């Protein structure tokens, strides 16, 4: 009987971890292919363009991702609206970055809405994630 509880506990632990970042990127790729049949994969270069492009975003202010996260993903950022400090995006200096898919989804959705005033497409999310993970 005790052995069954251990197996159940291990199985519950497996489900608790949820989706990995690579699985999430694969799911985004599948979704991007449905949205655009000519989708050929994500591009860090396009992600860089998304990250640095300026738009009239939240509160009518011209902003980009770099407005809060800085032009150097290895540096601390600061939310331009709240003043809250933001840990570096680069996994090379912040190893915990991009390890929790649930948090990544939340912040991608929120930040795209702040900058673009809409949720990003699967292609855009994959491109910007590839860019950020490669820095």
CATH code, domain with 122 = 1.10.760.10
For 90-127, give one letter per residue: b (16+ CB within 10 A) or e.
bbeeeeebbeebeebeeebeebbebbbeeebbbbbbbb
What is the reported pLDDT for 9?
A: 39
Give residue 15's pLDDT. Answer: 40
- pLDDT beyond 80 at 2: no
Per-residue pLDDT tens digits for 57-113? 988 999 999 999 999 999 999 999 999 999 999 999 999 999 999 999 999 999 999
Q: What is the tally of structural domains in the chain?
A: 1
Q: pTM to 2 decimals? A: 0.83
Domain holding 108, by residue range, is: 2-133
Confidence (pLDDT) at 19: 86
């Amino acid at each position: 009987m005790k052995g069954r509880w251990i197996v159940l506990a291990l199985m519950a632990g497996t489900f608790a971890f949820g989706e990995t970042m690579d699985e999430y990127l694969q799911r985004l790729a599948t979704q991007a292919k449905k949205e655009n049949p000519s989708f050929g994969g994500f591009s860090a270069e396009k992600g860089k363009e998304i990250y640095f492009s300026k738009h009239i975003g939240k509160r009518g202010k011209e902003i980009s991702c770099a407005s809060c996260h800085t032009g150097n993903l290895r540096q601390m950022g600061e939310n331009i609206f709240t003043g809250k400090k933001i840990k570096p995006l680069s996994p090379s200096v912040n190893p915990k970055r991009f390890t929790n898919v649930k948090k990544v989804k939340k912040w991608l959705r929120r930040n795209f809405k702040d900058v673009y005033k809409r949720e990003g497409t699967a292609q855009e999310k994959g491109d910007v994630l590839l860019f950020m993970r490669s820095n």
